[in-house]
Amino acid sequence: MTNLVSTLNVLLHGEPVGTITNVGHDRTLFAFTDGYINDESRPVLGLGFKDSLGGLLTDFKPTQTRLLPFFSNLLPEERMRHYLAERAGVNPAREFFLLWALGQDLPGAITVEPANGEALPPNYHNETQGDPKRKAPMRFSLAGVQLKFSAVQQAKGGLTIPATGQGGSWIVKLPSSRFEAVPENEYSMMELARMLGMDVPETQLLPINQIANIPEGIGQFGESAFVIKRFDRADGRAIHIEDFAQVFGVYPHDKYQKASMRNIAQVLGIEGQDEDIAEFTRRLVFNTLIGNADMHLKNWSVIYKDKHTASIAPAYDFVSTVPYIPDDSAALKVSRSKKFSDFTLDELSHLAAKAMLPEKWVLEIAKETVAGFNEVWAREKAHLPLTQSMIEAIERHQRNIPI
């Protein structure tokens, strides 16, 4: 294991804001640059870096093997992490080196590069060292568990996944080896959300044969991929975002705990505008009605369109999970309970009161969303690419939702 000191520069919108230094034995230190600290008009890196008075936190404890939660959450998880780490020749547990290898196309407007153009130390990786068959790392890394890749739109139609270099402005989510028709499910749920007026990026359900350069060794299942336009990319520039695991300083493995929907609502109430609260309420009600038991902290984000002001980011990862795993529990507590069968107007009223939101308004939006969903679902369910078993599972689930 290397004892050499190595430093990564952290850039936000292309400008240096901090450094992450590996001081040996996988111990890392993060520090903001003096220029960022002294810049009174500095862009926001993350809400979790604010102190109780709205100032900038500048004192951080060292971490071992893992990075600070904010940076750890920029990295992929589980199967995707292992796949990309293997390609890069990096031990997936050693996050400093994984971020080094994958830091050119992270979520949001953050990039990471080695200070002074350093090369990776000669002993940063595992047994892949010196293996001539080891492939170059794929220099993009989209956080999360699912197999998904950043892709570029082709002039002739379709998408291509770049082997190296920065990724594109689309995310390709490949079919699951465990669950049937997940791309069709996600496409349908996102389209329903769009019909209900939620902020949904452009999406496609694309035949896999129209996606070029799908990496080898990951397996292919099903015939279609779900494709969604990246809302953190626009007109050739990066727009900064952060998910709520980053906001709350929670490591990815704790994304199902440590916080609640009420905590998310409270942050949006403080940092956002009225429309952010309305959008949050619509999404919370909608994902309850479709039976999405996987709306964890990383599936909610804020976006900084002007580099300073946080607002709720466009919708993503809306999937009805009940056709695959029947469940009465959501990923996070609403206010007092995470049970779908406890999702009542009273529970929403409790959330609004505790999060200091206008209760009457929240309840009106919830009622409107329920009524709108019932109308759209009845009209559109037969026209969406859902299997009959999915439709039946969602409708069984809905009969148990008190709201």
CATH classification of the domain holding 357: 1.10.1070
Domain finish residue from 95, 115, 135 = 115
Maximum alpha-carbon separation in the chain: 65
In this structure, the answer to whether residues 210 and 319 fall within a common structural domain is no
Residue 226 lies in a domain: yes
In this structure, the answer to whether residues 47 and 10 fall within a common structural domain is yes
In this structure, the answer to whether residues 248 and 217 fall within a common structural domain is no
In this structure, the answer to whether residues 226 and 266 fall within a common structural domain is no
Residue 129 lies in a domain: no
Query: Could you tell me the sign of the dihedral formed by the alpha carbons of 362, 363, 368, 370, in that order?
Result: positive
Closest CA to 288 of 277, 278, 280, 297: 280
Domain finish residue from 191, 211, 234 = 234
Residue 127 lies in a domain: no
> What is the number of domains present in the chain?
3
Catalytic residue (one of 26, 232, 276, 294): 294
Domain finish residue from 115, 139, 156 = 115
In this structure, the answer to whether residues 219 and 248 fall within a common structural domain is no
In this structure, the answer to whether residues 251 and 392 fall within a common structural domain is yes
262-284 pLDDT, tens digit per residue, is: 999 999 999 999 999 999 999 99
Residue 386 has pLDDT above 60, yes or no: yes
pTM, two decimal places: 0.92
Pairwise CA distance, residues 280 & 285, whole Å: 9
Angle, in degrees to the nearest 10, between helices 274-290 and 182-195: 140
Residue 145 has what pLDDT? 47
Residue 374 lies in a domain: yes
- Where b means 16+ CB within 10 Å and e means fewer, 223-248 reads ebbbbbbbbbbeeeebbbbbbbbbbb
Residue 309 lies in a domain: yes
Q: Please report which confidence band the pLDDT of residue 236 belongs to, taking 50, 70 and 90 as the band edges.
A: confident
Sheet strand arrangement including 27-32: 63-64, 27-32, 15-22, 6-12, 110-114
89-125 pLDDT, tens digit per residue, is: 889 999 999 999 888 889 999 999 999 776 665 545 5
Residue 150 has what pLDDT? 81
Residue 122 lies in a domain: no
Domain holding 364, by residue range, is 240-398
In this structure, the answer to whether residues 214 and 272 fall within a common structural domain is no
Other Cβ atoms within 10 Å of 104 Cβ, number: 16
In this structure, the answer to whether residues 374 and 288 fall within a common structural domain is yes
In this structure, the answer to whether residues 268 and 309 fall within a common structural domain is yes
In this structure, the answer to whether residues 339 and 261 fall within a common structural domain is yes
Residue 121 lies in a domain: no
Q: Does residue 232 have an active-site annotation?
A: no
In this structure, the answer to whether residues 225 and 342 fall within a common structural domain is no
In this structure, the answer to whether residues 282 and 365 fall within a common structural domain is yes
Q: What is the 3-state secondary structure (H, E, C) of 69-80?
A: HHHHCCCECHHH
Residue 142 lies in a domain: no
